[in-house]
């Protein structure tokens, strides 16, 4: 379904006449949607982990490279993020025990395709590969040894968002995303980004 959305965006892009019109002499330079970009991310992550249904803050950094052709913008991107999402269950195997599971670092690489709906606003869809580390701690209770473990889970991430050019090189972005893991489980997030394009 998400690939269909991206396909529709691309089709609309090439079927629509170019935005460009002669700007007044005193108009500021047009925003630049081509080039290398860096950004900081902050948002809210929700992963169904044991008894945790509320989610937590997520944060990270990203890089990417975009090419604008007419109203279309195509790009590659990568991110590294983390969150404080965790949950615990008691009396799981025996009375008095406790297991806690949390999300760790999250690595993403993918592509996006978008269309300029105005001089400063880009709407886009994205898709790519994600690898997330999950950590766990088991306390058997009664003074028994606490054990810790971690596992890395691969998955597919898709998202939709809007990017607004503040100036020729600075931008902000709002995005919603969904991740489905190959071994089961999923997560959703909403986030904002602030960045610069060079």
Please report, for the domain that includes residue 42, its CATH number: 2.40.160.20
- Side-chain half-sphere exposure of 79, counting CA atoms within 13 A: 26
pTM: 0.77
Task: Give domain status of residue 132, yes or no.
Answer: no
Q: What is the mean pLDDT of residues 80-84?
A: 92
pLDDT of the residue at 15: 43
The DSSP secondary structure of 92-103, one letter per residue, reads SSSTT-EEEEEE
Residue 58 in this model has a pLDDT that exceeds 70:
yes
Q: Which domain holds residue 116?
A: 2-14+32-81+104-127+156-197
Task: Give domain status of residue 109, yes or no.
Answer: yes
Task: Give domain status of residue 141, yes or no.
Answer: no
pLDDT of the residue at 126: 98
Task: Give domain status of residue 192, yes or no.
Answer: yes
> Per the structure, how many domains does the chain have?
1
More confident residue, 76 or 24: 76
Helices and strands in the chain, H and E counts: 1, 9
Confidence of residue 50 (pLDDT cuts 50, 70, 90): low
pLDDT of the residue at 163: 98
Pick from 18-22, 37-41, 87-91, 186-190 the range whose average pLDDT is largest. 37-41
Are the CB atoms for 196 and 40 separated by under 8 Å? no
Task: Give domain status of residue 54, yes or no.
Answer: yes
Q: What is the mean pLDDT of residues 88-105?
A: 84
Task: Give domain status of residue 136, yes or no.
Answer: no
Each residue's pLDDT tens digit, 102-113: 888 999 999 999
Q: How far is CA 42 from CA 21, 34, 58, 59, 80, in A?
A: 36, 23, 6, 5, 12
Pick from 84-93, 126-135, 139-148 the range whose average pLDDT is largest. 126-135
CA distance 60 to 105: 9
Task: Give domain status of residue 143, yes or no.
Answer: no
Residue 52 in this model has a pLDDT that exceeds 60:
no
Q: What is the mean pLDDT of residues 67-80?
A: 97
Task: Give domain status of residue 67, yes or no.
Answer: yes
CA nearest to 157, candidates 132, 129, 189, 187:
129
Q: CA torsion sign, 32 to 38 to 44 to 49?
A: positive
Q: How far is CA 155 from CA 12, 56, 57, 121, 141, in A?
A: 29, 20, 21, 29, 34
More confident residue, 173 or 19: 173
Residue 4's H or E segment, with its range, is: helix 2-15
């Amino acid at each position: 379904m998400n690939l269909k959305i991206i396909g529709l965006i691309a089709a609309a892009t090439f079927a629509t006449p170019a935005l460009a019109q002669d700007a007044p002499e005193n108009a500021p330079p047009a925003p630049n949607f081509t080039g290398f970009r860096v950004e900081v991310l902050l948002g809210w992550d929700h992963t169904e982990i044991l008894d945790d249904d509320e989610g937590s803050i997520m944060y990270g950094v990203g890089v990417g490279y975009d090419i604008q052709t007419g109203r279309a913008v195509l790009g590659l991107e990568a991110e590294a993020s983390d969150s404080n999402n965790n949950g615990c269950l008691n009396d799981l195997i025996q009375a008095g025990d406790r297991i806690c599971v949390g999300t760790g670092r999250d690595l993403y690489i993918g592509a996006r395709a978008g269309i300029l709906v105005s001089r400063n606003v880009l709407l886009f869809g994205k898709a790519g590969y994600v690898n997330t580390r999950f950590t766990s701690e088991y306390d058997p209770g009664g003074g028994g040894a606490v054990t810790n473990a971690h596992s890395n889970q691969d998955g597919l991430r898709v998202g939709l968002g809007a990017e607004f050019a503040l100036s020729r090189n600075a931008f902000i972005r709002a995005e919603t995303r969904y991740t489905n893991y190959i071994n089961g489980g999923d997560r959703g997030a909403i986030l904002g980004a602030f960045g610069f394009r060079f």
